[in-house]
C-alpha cells in the first residue's frame, strides 16, 4: 500500500444511500458541490445495504455521482473505482484483501438451513452469498432467528433494520468494519472523515470511532444512540443533515 499512500484521501464522506444521501435531490447536489469545491483529495464513499447492480441502477436513475469507493451488501464487499479506466462499465474492482478477511468462517448454507426452520422469515433474492438476508414479519421473529444462530454456534454479525430487514453477515463484516478498513487503507492518517446514516444497518458505522452524523429523518431504531464528541444528531434531513454534520465537525 505504500505507493498508494501519496494518493490517499485527505477528506472522506462515507455515507449510506437510501434515506441518507438519497431523499432530497437538491440538498444532495448542494452537499456534493460544497465538498468538491472546498476540499481537495476528497474521497466519496457509499456504504449501502444494496448489492452492486442495485446501486448502479440507483445511480443511473437519480444522477448520483459514481463514488470513489463503493461498499455494497451491508459492508461485505468493497469496490474501488479505477479512475484511469476508460471502460466506464467495469471501472470498479473488488478489494480482494478485504474479501478474504471477510470470508473467514462464513457459513451461508448453514445459516439458510436454520432460517428455513423459522416461521415468519422470507429469504431475500440476492445475486450471491456474500451475505444472507431476509424479511422478517416482526422483531420477535428476528430475535428467534438470532438466538437460533447463536445456539448453533455459527459465527456471524446480525443486523436488523427498518423493523423488517435482516442481514446476516460474516462475523468480521458490516458497515463499521468496512469503514475502519477503508480509513486504514485508503486515507491519510490525519484525514477528515465523516460517516452518515439513518437506520439500523448504519449503527456500527456510526459507532465506529470516526466523526458521524445521524440525519434528522433517521428511523427510531437509532434513537438510543447518544450524542457525543464523535456523534452528532442533525436536525436537517437527508443530505442537508449530512452537510450540517460536516459543518459541525469541520467548520
Ligand atoms: C437494503 C438492501 C436489503 C437490506 C437492507 C438493510 O434495502 O436492498 O437487501 O436487507 O438494505 O440492510
Ligand atoms: Mg438508509
Residues 233 and 203 in one domain: yes
Regarding the beta carbon of 133 and ligand 1, being less than 6 Å apart is answered: yes
SS3 state of residue 7: coil
Neighbouring CB atoms inside 10 A of 15's CB total 28
Residues 87 and 196 in one domain: yes
Q: Residue 218's domain is classified under what CATH number? A: 3.40.50.1000
Residues 91 and 132 in one domain: no
Under 8 Å CB-to-CB from 187, ≥6 apart: which residues?
A: 8, 9, 10, 12, 43, 193
Please write the tens of the pLDDT for every residue from 161-201: 999 999 999 999 999 999 999 999 999 999 999 999 999 99
Under 8 Å CB-to-CB from 207, ≥6 apart: which residues?
A: 176, 225, 231
Rg of the chain in Å (alpha carbons): 18
Ligand 1 pocket test: pick from 53, 165, 198 the residue with the most ligand atoms within 8 Å of its Cβ. 165
pLDDT-derived band at 7 (thresholds 50, 70, 90) equals confident
Query: Locate cell 486515507: which residue?
Result: 187
Q: Which of 122, 141, 169 is the last residue of a domain?
A: 169
Write out the residues surrounding ion ligand 2, Cβ under 5 A. Answer: 16, 18-19, 198-199
Regarding the beta carbon of 203 and ligand 1, being less than 6 Å apart is answered: no
Residues 64 and 181 in one domain: yes
The per-residue pLDDT for 108 is: 97
pLDDT-derived band at 3 (thresholds 50, 70, 90) equals very low
Regarding the beta carbon of 124 and ligand 1, being less than 6 Å apart is answered: yes
Residues 186 and 72 in one domain: yes
Residues 87 and 180 in one domain: yes
Residues 162 and 213 in one domain: no
Residues 196 and 90 in one domain: yes
Beta bridge partner(s), residue 159: 167
Q: Which of 220, 227, 237, 231 is nearest to 21 (CA)?
A: 237
Residues 50 and 138 in one domain: no
Q: Residue 133's domain is classified under what CATH number? A: 3.90.1070.10
Helices (H) and strands (E) in the chain, counts: 9, 12
Q: What nine digits make up the cell of 157? A: 454479525
The per-residue pLDDT for 101 is: 87
Residues 82 and 6 in one domain: yes
Q: Which region among 51-55, 81-85, 186-190, 192-196 has the lowest average model confidence (pLDDT)?
A: 81-85
Please write the tens of the pLDDT for every residue from 15-42: 999 999 999 999 999 999 999 999 999 9
Q: State in Å: Cα 77 to ligand 1 middle.
A: 14
Regarding the beta carbon of 76 and ligand 1, being less than 6 Å apart is answered: no
Residue-range definition of the domain harbouring residue 139: 106-169
Longest dimension (CA), the chain: 53
Q: Report the number of distinct structural domains present in the chain.
A: 2
Please write the tens of the pLDDT for every residue from 128-145: 999 999 999 999 999 999
Residues 96 and 183 in one domain: yes
Regarding the beta carbon of 161 and ligand 1, being less than 6 Å apart is answered: yes
Residues 95 and 184 in one domain: yes
Q: Which of 124, 146, 169 is the last residue of a domain?
A: 169
SS3 state of residue 166: strand
Q: Which of 55, 21, 54, 24 is nearest to 35 (CA)?
A: 21
Amino acid at each position: 500500500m505504500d505507493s498508494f499512500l501519496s494518493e490517499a484521501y485527505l477528506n472522506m464522506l462515507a455515507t449510506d444511500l437510501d434515506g441518507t444521501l438519497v431523499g432530497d435531490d437538491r440538498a444532495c447536489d448542494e452537499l456534493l458541490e460544497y465538498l468538491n469545491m472546498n476540499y481537495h483529495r476528497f474521497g466519496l464513499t457509499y456504504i449501502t445495504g444494496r448489492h452492486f447492480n442495485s446501486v448502479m441502477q440507483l445511480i443511473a436513475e437519480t444522477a448520483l455521482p459514481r463514488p470513489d469507493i463503493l461498499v455494497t451488501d451491508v459492508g461485505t464487499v468493497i469496490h474501488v473505482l479505477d479512475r484511469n479506466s476508460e471502460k466506464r462499465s467495469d471501472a470498479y474492482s473488488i478489494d480482494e484483501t478485504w474479501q478474504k478477511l471477510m470470508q473467514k468462517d462464513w457459513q451461508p448454507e448453514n445459516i439458510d438451513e436454520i432460517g428455513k426452520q423459522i416461521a415468519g422469515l422470507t429469504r431475500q433474492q440476492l445475486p450471491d452469498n456474500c451475505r444472507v438476508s431476509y424479511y422478517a414479519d416482526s422483531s420477535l421473529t428476528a430475535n428467534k432467528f438470532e438466538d437460533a444462530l447463536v445456539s448453533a454456534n455459527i459465527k456471524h454479525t446480525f443486523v436488523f433494520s427498518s423493523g423488517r430487514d435482516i442481514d446476516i453477515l460474516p462475523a468480521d463484516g458490516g458497515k463499521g468494519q468496512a469503514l475502519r478498513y477503508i480509513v486504514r487503507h485508503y486515507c491519510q492518517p490525519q484525514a477528515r472523515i465523516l460517516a452518515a446514516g439513518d437506520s439500523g444497518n448504519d449503527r456500527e458505522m456510526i459507532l465506529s470511532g470516526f466523526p458521524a452524523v445521524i440525519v434528522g429523518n433517521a428511523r427510531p431504531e437509532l434513537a438510543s444512540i447518544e450524542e457525543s464528541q464523535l456523534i452528532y444528531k442533525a436536525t436537517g434531513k437527508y443530505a442537508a443533515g449530512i452537510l450540517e454534520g460536516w459543518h459541525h465537525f469541520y467548520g
